[in-house]
Structure 1
Amino acid sequence: MGGSSSSQQADQSETPTYFTQEELSKLKSEFETGGVEKIKPLLEKKVKELDNTELNIAVTGDSGAGKSTFINAMRGLRKQDEGAAAVGTTETTMEPTGYPHPNLPNVRYWDLPGIGSTRFTAGSYLKKMQLKKYDFFIIVAVNRFTENDAKLAKEIKRLGKEFYFVRSKIDADLDSMRQQQTTFDEDAEMEKIRSDCVSQLGKAGIPDPTVFLISSFKKNMYDFPHLIKSLGAGLPNVKESVFVLALPNLSVEIIRKKGEVLKKRIWMWAIISGGVGAIPVPGLSAACDMGILIAAVIDFRKCLCLNDAALRRLAEKTSKSVEELKAAAQSSLLEEITAQVIVRLRLGAVAVTVSAIEAALYVAPGVGSVFGAGSSFLMTYMILNDALKLLMETAEKVLAVAKGAH
């Protein structure tokens, strides 16, 4: 654990983004009247709510626009992976098809038939697709956006939902242009394509739209990183945190963002772990609820794409074995998580030497100081903080190995 106690205090006193002001006030008053035991049920409810938060993302566009490839890219899957959306098939279904995220099944991408590729009139399409159920919409086109795309965007706006225009397969367009021109300016050509899309949508009644030019095969290029940031920023706080955790590990920046989201849950786990389930563990300076510790570390691994299924998919993608990836990461936290692994890694070891004054700085946001030194709260907080830090470093090492293999 690095950082001074004052910086730790500042870090801990940040308002957690997934509590409403009303919930924070209730936490504070319950804590003041009944202490930690009184707020535990509220926190258990919140943890369950976060685990069960659903996110439904609609991807619409005409057949051949690249919706399936985009849906797979956002879920970190290739077309041959289990659960991948079928690519290159003729669109026959008129029903929305849902594809759950491989690690977080409450996050679903829905493939909606394009408004222009269906038997429906625009009006009956809007009714049939039940637009209210989706959190936001991605409207994908491969060449031109149509009047129907604009009509759909207007209806989505009327419902108070966000929508994003995505122009796909930009790499193929640029390659084709590059072969036809002796001097080629990629940025200038991209701006021409963007201006053309904006102009089409403007004529159809969408003023100043933002259009993202992407390739689903080159997720660190063109507008893909900018699109990901925009999609998250348009969501309410709890759903934004879920969206971030469902992203594939495309960059160090995404891994660190996931770490920030997970870190904001640690104090809740720490408070819940105190009391009834806490038992003395040889090698640790305080009693802990080892079940909660192990469950939290397993959850961190899943969200950071370090669970076995995610590592297996990555190994297939990079032609490396899972063993090679694990060897490069050199982390015991990729083994089966047991009490012995946690003790052996000396996670939270610094808690042994923390003074009572420093311990008082570990606070639950909106509640105030909760425990003295040596408490189950402090020990759990330290262990999970250390484990998260190690797993983030591990995820960054795995990413570097994967990038080196391409």
Structure 2
Amino acid sequence: MENASSSQQAALSETPSYFTQEELNKVNSEFETGGVENVQPLLEKKVKELDNTELNIAVTGDTGAGKSTFINAMRGLRSEDEGAAAVGTTETTMEPTGYTHPTLPNVRYWDLPGIGSTRFTASSYLKEMQFKKYDFFIIVSAGRFTENDANLAKEIKRLGKEFYFVRSKIDADLYSMRKERGEFDEDAEMEKIRSACVSQLGKAGIPDPTVFLISSFKKNMYDFSRLMKTLGDDLPNIKESVFILALPIFSNEIIHKKGEVLKGRIWMLAILAGGAGGIPITGLSIACNIGILIGAIIFFRECLCLDDAARSRLAERKGKSMEELDAAAPSPLLGKITVDVIIWLCKAFVGVSAFAAVVCYFPFVGYLFAAGSTFLVAYKVLNKALTLLMEISEKVHDFAKGAA
């Protein structure tokens, strides 16, 4: 087995984007002077910060523009799913309505009543809608952008927040054109629609706006991917990572983006698990070590839309059973994550014997093993589990596409 201390230092040398250089320097310094015990509190604090970071996204636009459908699409839900935003053409509320992400409770999409359906001016509207809580605004229109939309955008800009223009239901527009004209140049027509939106917004006082043409029902088409990339790129580092983990999976590229974000957490979790491994208190060592690994794998699975609820929704909308869906990529990682699953990962993929696995995870047998040895096993286990889950996610979602 490779030298554990050098592995820890190599892991620390990775510079995840959600660490400042000052934080990384402090972690390195603490590790050099006091080892794992000194580093552990700093990493626990960072992991809690990542878990507790909130992301609040405001979605506004006139009644019938497709706000609720867009919010559901971003949460991986359909209108009939439990917890979905109500879809309709009637404005049902005059207050912001928050919709929590199914697996990341600190991510919320807020359905704001369209300014055209209220008696507020743009400035008073933002005050009433609790402007400061939102990280950015998405202004949705199903037709031309109105003067209300433009006035709202100008007020948002004046107050220093980001906003994005979304022209929804582009698939319906193109369908209508096809029914009317037969064959036509789809890209050229989309460019005409985009140019018309930009022109209208320009006349209303929004210079050089970027307009995204999307369909909430066809996330792998039109500008949906470009919109997701832009939203993520414009967020600060930690919030960008949260946004990526909350994305619905509509392409293998999204799976790989999520994987890169999750991989950035592994070295921290492994050091926390490794630090626990050197404590000669049987109950505490077992609980910390196994608990960290199990919790991490469950979290990976949720972010990759492989939890039971997500797979059940996917199977139902494709007219398949859960068993049929899971058969596309059978794996113990789709069942209950237990100590036995951790041992299976160790024996099958980490190159550690069954006895060594027991030693690493049950300190009453071998707590004299250095904490670094436990770190090394934990690091390899989590990396392999993430790799396997990414592969499973690709196979499951590819199967679902084929079943569409």
Tell me, yes or no, if the aligned pair for 1:170 and 1:213 is still in contact at 8 Å: yes
Residue in structure 1 matched with residue 212 of structure 2 by the alignment: 212
**What are the residue-to-residue correspondences of 1:176-325 with 2, within 5 Å?**
176-277=176-277, 289-325=289-325
Q: How well do the aligned residues superpose, as a CA RMSD in angstroms?
A: 2.5
Q: Secondary structure at the match of 1:88?
A: coil
Q: Which runs of 5+ in 1 are unaligned?
A: 1-5, 281-285, 354-370
Give the Cα separation in 2 of the matches to 1:197 and 1:337: 50
Tell me, yes or no, if the aligned pair for 1:347 and 1:383 is still in contact at 8 Å: no
Residue 387 to residue 183, structure 1, CA distance change in 2 (3 Å): closer
Q: Relative to structure 2, which stretch is displaced further, 220-229 or 177-186? A: 177-186
**What are the residue-to-residue correspondences of 1:320-335 with 2, within 5 Å?**
320-335=320-335
Give the Cα separation in 2 of the matches to 1:197 and 1:225: 19
Residue in structure 1 matched with residue 359 of structure 2 by the alignment: none
Question: What's the % identity of the aligned pairs?
Answer: 77
Give the Cα separation in 2 of the matches to 1:234 and 1:322: 37
Shift of 1:288: 8.5
Counterpart of 2:389 (choices 388, 391, 405) is 391
Q: Secondary structure at the match of 1:402?
A: helix
Shift of 1:12: 6.6
Residue in structure 2 matched with residue 142 of structure 1 by the alignment: 142
Shift of 1:185: 1.1
Q: Relative to structure 2, which stretch is displaced further, 13-22 or 168-177? A: 13-22
Give the Cα separation in 1 of the matches to 2:25 and 2:389: 33
- How many aligned positions are there? 379
Give the Cα separation in 2 of the matches to 1:10 and 1:205: 52
Shift of 1:352: 4.0
Q: Secondary structure at the match of 2:137?
A: strand
Q: C-alpha deviations, 1:216-252, integer Å up to 9, x for none? A: 1111111111111111111011001111111111110
Q: Relative to structure 2, which stretch is displaced further, 344-353 or 256-265? A: 344-353
Q: Secondary structure at the match of 1:16?
A: coil
Between Structure 1 and Structure 2, which shows a larger proportion of helix residues? 2
Residue in structure 1 matched with residue 159 of structure 2 by the alignment: 159
Q: C-alpha deviations, 1:114-145, integer Å up to 9, x for none? A: 11221222232121112111011110011111
Give the Cα separation in 2 of the matches to 1:11 and 1:274: 13
**What are the residue-to-residue correspondences of 1:353-364 with 2, within 5 Å?**
none
Residue in structure 1 matched with residue 357 of structure 2 by the alignment: none
Q: Secondary structure at the match of 1:216?
A: coil
Residue 136 to residue 165, structure 1, CA distance change in 2 (3 Å): same
Which amino acid in structure 1 is aligned with residue 395 of structure 2? K
Give the Cα separation in 1 of the matches to 2:44 and 2:374: 17
Q: Relative to structure 2, which stretch is displaced further, 389-398 or 15-24? A: 15-24
Give the Cα separation in 2 of the matches to 1:184 and 1:332: 49
Give the Cα separation in 2 of the matches to 1:73 and 1:118: 26
Tell me, yes or no, if the aligned pair for 2:62 and 2:115 is still in contact at 8 Å: yes
Q: Secondary structure at the match of 2:208?
A: coil
Which amino acid in structure 2 is aligned with residue 375 of structure 1? S
Tell me, yes or no, if the aligned pair for 1:279 and 1:287 is still in contact at 8 Å: no
Residue 11 to residue 144, structure 1, CA distance change in 2 (3 Å): farther
Q: Secondary structure at the match of 1:343?
A: helix
Q: Secondary structure at the match of 1:85?
A: coil
Tell me, yes or no, if the aligned pair for 1:60 and 1:67 is still in contact at 8 Å: yes
Residue 344 to residue 32, structure 1, CA distance change in 2 (3 Å): closer
Residue 97 to residue 241, structure 1, CA distance change in 2 (3 Å): same
Which of the pair has the greater relative contact order for Cα pairs under 8 Å at 6+ separation? 1
Structure-1-length-normalised TM-score = 0.88
Tell me, yes or no, if the aligned pair for 1:287 and 1:376 is still in contact at 8 Å: no
**What are the residue-to-residue correspondences of 1:10-21 with 2, within 5 Å?**
13-21=13-21
Residue 151 to residue 28, structure 1, CA distance change in 2 (3 Å): same
Q: Secondary structure at the match of 1:179?
A: helix
Tell me, yes or no, if the aligned pair for 2:168 and 2:215 is still in contact at 8 Å: yes
Residue in structure 2 matched with residue 87 of structure 1 by the alignment: 87
Q: Secondary structure at the match of 2:112?
A: strand
